[in-house]
Amino acid sequence: MGSASKEKDITSRAEKMIREGNGNTARISQQVGQEGNRTSSNTNNTLTLIKVKLYMSKSPNMKAIPIQTTLDNSIHLMRKFRTLEQIVVRNSMLSDANLLLPLLDSVQCSQIVQLHLVAADLSQFPSQLVSRLGELTYLNLSNNAIAEIPDHIDQVIVSRKLTSLDLSCNRLTTLPGSLSILFDRGLQNLDVQENFIELDQIHDSLKQHSQGIRKKWHNQHVAQQVIDRVYLGSIHAAKNRQFLSEKEITHILSVNHMNPPYPNEFKYKVVREYDQPTSNLLQHLEDCFSFIDSVLEQPRGSVLIHCAAGQSRSATIIIAYVMYKMRVSFDEAYQIVFHKRCCIAPNQGFLNQLRLFSNIGMQYSGETYQSHIDKTIVDSVGCSNLNLQYYRLQEIPSSVCIHQWKNINLSYNNLANIETLVSCSTELLDLNLAHNLLTHLPDNVITCFHKLQTLDISFNSIREIPIDFFQCTPSLKHFNASHNQIGNIPEEIGEWSDHIEVLDMSFNHLTSLPSSTTSLLALRMFILKNNCFVQEPSVLHELRRSAKQDQLSIQFLATSQTNTEDSTINP
């Protein structure tokens, strides 16, 4: 059968399915689409639409016909069914939307209410096509390469019923003021996410309609220059050789766990932190600032700061750098960076760290630093909860000990001694000492922990748990001693710790477990990963049998510890 005969046969079968009201779109797609695609390869037509959905208002049982055939076939079919409500072109090499004009000549344009030209390789706004659709309510031009919207867009879009306009993921750099006229007509939603629009390029008349604009102006896959020669971007920018060359990038500050893709071509600094509220980025600031400064001190070259999406970790670093370099507050620095890359979104933990960095005067000494600590202590007395994390304290302030606290957070400091807590620990319920420099737990301190319910001493250098520790903490429910150098657990744990529900001993040097472990009947979670066990201790089998079904979770895995420190890589 010849090419023309095959096309005629395909069209006839499609028409028959519609007349019979067959609603199986998938089967039509398979029967018509696949054969149509084979047919189109033998024709001389200049365009093949990869995927066109034609929605029929006069076929109640048939909502869509996906046709993978030539444009001429589509037009021929439309001459049979002239009332078209929606046109959807996706993932095609259409390039020129005017090629669809013959299709409009074959149908009643007044019935078309939706036009979707998505990922259709368009470089220009389809003005001529859109201007013929007077009843349009939804226009989707996302995922193309459109760089400019016509200045008089209100004259191009003649429909007064348009409520949604999707221009996301294009190459727009500005928005014309005439868009405000569309809002006045009834436009409710304008999506311009993932473009290259600078905030100062937004016309004043559009600002009153900001509620209707879904906006992340900047394409997050592309880096933006925040200050002279300092760029903020995502992993995509860090792998884009063309971008790195055009911007004369010589140094890359990577705030994630990725290995540098081009270690022989650029100088890298890698800060291995996760995008979690508990990650401490403040501890890396000085080294990061020095790395950035080393670039700016040179006559040429630029630095790219990136994480995964260029929104949280790397944004936190550059906001802190702007605060430090320009001597501005957190709020001012945030707006400066947001103005250049509006998709930034540091997590709440990082925001708290930035506010602290601003409040202490961006340095960990001096009058501003000390006065903020004193103010924090005084302001916390009323609620009995004291938070002094991230202050790099080398000793506990004496003013802490004149009050009775229920909760104290001293994590992420440089504390090597906590004996000062003796005088304020009798009412303590929750104590966080994680990420410090502790090597032991003083006996005179733990004897005052009778009411303590939660204790976190993770990420220290503690070598042993005192023999009478569990006897002195009879109310303890949650105990995190992970990431230390503990070699054994006292046998007394089973006699005195019948309230413990969560016990984390991961990343230590344990080689065995005391037999009394089987007496921990309240235990719900027991974490033992990354220790020095030769095999799983037998007491765990006993513990599982004594626990209620599905009540106890035991995490046991003997693997080596991983390096979480930052590093600098030179080409």
Express as a percent the part of the chain with pLDDT over 70. 80
> Does residue 123 sit within a domain?
yes
Q: What is the pLDDT of residue 217?
A: 67
The model carries a pTM of 0.70
- Determine which of 205-219, 346-360, 462-476 has the lowest per-residue pLDDT on average: 205-219
> How many Cβ atoms from other residues are within 10 Å of residue 234's Cβ?
23
Average pLDDT, the chain: 82
List residues bridging with 88 in a β-sheet. 53, 116
Q: How many domains, in total, are found in the chain?
A: 3
Pair (205, 296) in one structural domain: no
User: What span, in angstroms and rounded, lies between the C-alpha atoms of 360 and 364?
Assistant: 7
Which of 164, 181, 214 is at the close of a domain?
214
User: What span, in angstroms and rounded, lies between the C-alpha atoms of 145 and 148?
Assistant: 9
User: What span, in angstroms and rounded, lies between the C-alpha atoms of 512 and 526?
Assistant: 14
Pair (305, 410) in one structural domain: no
Which of 332, 362, 392 is at the close of a domain?
362
Pair (164, 238) in one structural domain: no
- What is the bridge-based pairing of β-strands 525-527 and 553-555? parallel
Q: What is the pLDDT of residues 245-296, one digit of tens each?
A: 999 999 999 999 989 999 999 999 999 999 999 999 999 999 999 999 999 9
Q: What is the pLDDT of residue 568?
A: 56
Pair (164, 194) in one structural domain: yes
Q: Are 224 and 315 in contact (CB under 8 A)?
A: no
Q: Are 248 and 299 in contact (CB under 8 A)?
A: no
Pair (64, 179) in one structural domain: yes
- What is the bridge-based pairing of β-strands 65-67 and 525-527? unpaired
User: What span, in angstroms and rounded, lies between the C-alpha atoms of 42 and 239?
Assistant: 40
CA end-to-end span of the chain: 64
- Whether the pLDDT of residue 49 is over 50: the answer is no
Q: What is the CATH number of the domain that holds 525?
A: 3.80.10.10
Which of 182, 214, 246 is at the close of a domain?
214
Residue (of 468, 511, 461) closest to 482 by Cα position: 461
- CA angle 552–537–542, rounded 5-degree value: 50
Q: What is the pLDDT of residue 29?
A: 32
Q: What is the pLDDT of residues 441-451, one digit of tens each?
A: 998 888 888 89
Confidence of residue 66 (pLDDT cuts 50, 70, 90): very low
Q: For residues 346-357, b (16+ Cβ closer than 10 Å) or e, as one string?
A: bbebbbebbebb
Q: What is the CATH number of the domain that holds 312?
A: 3.90.190.10
List residues bridging with 253 in a β-sheet. 269, 305
Confidence of residue 439 (pLDDT cuts 50, 70, 90): very high
Cα–Cα distance list, 327 to 44, 377, 550 (Å): 66, 26, 55
Q: What is the pLDDT of residues 496-551, one digit of tens each?
A: 778 899 999 999 999 999 999 888 888 999 999 999 998 888 888 888 887 654 57
> Does residue 507 sit within a domain?
yes
- Whether the pLDDT of residue 476 is over 50: the answer is yes
User: What span, in angstroms and rounded, lies between the C-alpha atoms of 162 and 114?
Assistant: 9
Q: Are 530 and 231 in contact (CB under 8 A)?
A: no
Q: Are 358 and 316 in contact (CB under 8 A)?
A: no
Cα–Cα distance list, 462 to 197, 412, 434, 490, 522 (Å): 53, 15, 11, 14, 26
Place of tokens 């879904």: 214
Q: Are 401 and 378 in contact (CB under 8 A)?
A: no
User: What span, in angstroms and rounded, lies between the C-alpha atoms of 164 and 167?
Assistant: 10
Q: Are 467 and 492 in contact (CB under 8 A)?
A: yes
Position with higher pLDDT, 49 vs 556:
556
Break the chain down into helix, strand, coil percent, rounded to 5. 35, 15, 50
- What is the bridge-based pairing of β-strands 114-118 and 84-90? parallel
> Does residue 277 sit within a domain?
yes
Pair (494, 441) in one structural domain: yes
Q: Six-digit token pair at 561?
A: 């510890």
Confidence of residue 461 (pLDDT cuts 50, 70, 90): very high
Q: What is the pLDDT of residue 437?
A: 97
Average pLDDT over residues 460-469: 94
Is 307 annotated in the active site?
yes
Position with higher pLDDT, 415 vs 90:
415
Let me know how long the chain is.
Answer: 571
Pair (412, 330) in one structural domain: no
Torsion of CA 93, 97, 99, 101, to 10 degrees: 150
Pair (136, 200) in one structural domain: yes
The alpha carbon of 219 is separated from its chain's Cα centroid by a whole number of angstroms, namely: 14
Write out the H or E segment, with its range, that includes residue 206: helix 204-207
Q: Are 99 and 47 in contact (CB under 8 A)?
A: yes
Pair (28, 169) in one structural domain: yes
Q: Are 255 and 271 in contact (CB under 8 A)?
A: yes
The full DSSP string for 18-44 is HHTT---HHHHIIIIIHHHHHHHTTS-
> Does residue 237 sit within a domain?
yes
Domain that holds residue 257: 224-362
> Does residue 371 sit within a domain?
no
The full DSSP string for 154-171 is HHH---S---EEE--SS-
Residue (of 266, 340, 333) closest to 302 by Cα position: 266
Q: Six-digit token pair at 42?
A: 């033998």
Cα–Cα distance list, 266 to 253, 273, 508 (Å): 10, 21, 37
Active site residue: 169, 288, 307, 424, which one?
Answer: 307
- Determine which of 110-114, 179-183, 469-473 has the lowest per-residue pLDDT on average: 110-114
Pair (96, 167) in one structural domain: yes
Which burial class, exposed, middle or buried, applies to 3 when counting CB atoms under 10 A from its CB (0-12, 13-18, 19+)? middle
Q: In angstroms, how far apart are the furthest CA atoms of the chain?
A: 97
- Whether the pLDDT of residue 330 is over 50: the answer is yes
Pair (303, 200) in one structural domain: no
- CB contact set of 271 (below 8 Å; sequence gap of 6+): 253, 254, 255, 281, 284, 287, 288, 313, 317, 566
Q: What is the CATH number of the domain that holds 51?
A: 3.80.10
Pair (404, 319) in one structural domain: no
Q: Are 76 and 49 in contact (CB under 8 A)?
A: no
Q: What is the pLDDT of residues 121-170, one digit of tens each?
A: 899 999 999 999 999 999 999 999 999 999 999 999 999 999 999 998 89
DSSP 8-class letter at 218: B
Q: Are 342 and 199 in contact (CB under 8 A)?
A: yes
Which burial class, exposed, middle or buried, applies to 225 when counting CB atoms under 10 A from its CB (0-12, 13-18, 19+)? middle
Write out the H or E segment, with its range, that includes residue 17: helix 3-19
Q: What is the pLDDT of residues 345-389, one digit of tens each?
A: 999 999 999 999 999 999 999 999 999 999 999 999 888 899 999
Q: For residues 426-454, b (16+ Cβ closer than 10 Å) or e, as one string?
A: eebbbbbbbbbebeebeeebbbbbeebbb
